Homo-oligomer: A and B are copies of this chain.
Amino acid sequence: MSTTEIKFGGLGGQGIILAGMIIGRAASIYDNKFATLTQSFGPEARGSACSAQVIISDKKILYPYVTKPEILLIMSQEACNRFLPDAVHDATIIIEEDLVNPKELKPDMKVYGIPATRLAEELGPKMILNIIMVGFFTAVTKIVDYESVKEAVRTSVPEGTENLNMKAFERGYHFGNGIG
């Protein structure tokens, strides 16, 4: 059985939860896998920090909390500081490189950075930042199929924004393939 634990972290408004949902849905759309997304709201949810835990598995998931993330997708420094210590020693760390500077990395961790904010500004509105990150994540991790994620993006973004978000996805994906 193969199970992958992923943590998504950033600031409210960056679309980090939608990014997690798209990856979770993509895993089930064509890949015939199971996925869960769990979001915890504690009293700290009053601040602007925002995170989601996604598990992808070949089997039904009995315990949906991520305890040792193998992949982190991080869009704020605060999320990085908070979640990096829990990640496995050889975790894949995916960051928006202009917003996040990972400190105290373990030696086997692999860090992949993308200037997604700048790329978003080139394409149009900044709200597509999360979808650029999803494209980059898809290229770097290869844990969900390219076509599945594309379909999950298309069916998850607000009506009327599909074309723009497809471009954002492709931009992040190609950036990730160039360096991955």
Chain A residues near B (Cβ < 8 Å): 12, 17, 21, 24-25, 27-29, 32-46, 60-61, 63-65, 155, 158
Contacts and interface: CB of A to CB of B under 8 A. Distances in A.
Given A17-B21, A28-B45, A29-B46, A38 B64 contact: yes
A34 B42 contact: yes
A75 to B, nearest CB: 18
19 contacts: A12-B155, A21-B39, A24-B41, A25-B45, A28-B44, A28-B45, A29-B45, A29-B46, A34-B40, A34-B43, A35-B40, A35-B45, A36-B40, A37-B39, A37-B41, A38-B38, A38-B64, A40-B61, A42-B60
A46 B65 contact: no
Contact of A28 (B25, B32, B34, B41): B41
Contacts of A24: 39, 41
Given A17-B21, A65-B64, A36 B41 contact: yes
Contacts of A33: 43
Contact of A35 (B28, B41, B158): B41
- By Cβ-Cβ distance, the 7 closest A-B pairs, closest first, are A28-B41, A28-B45, A35-B41, A38-B38, A37-B39, A24-B41, A34-B42
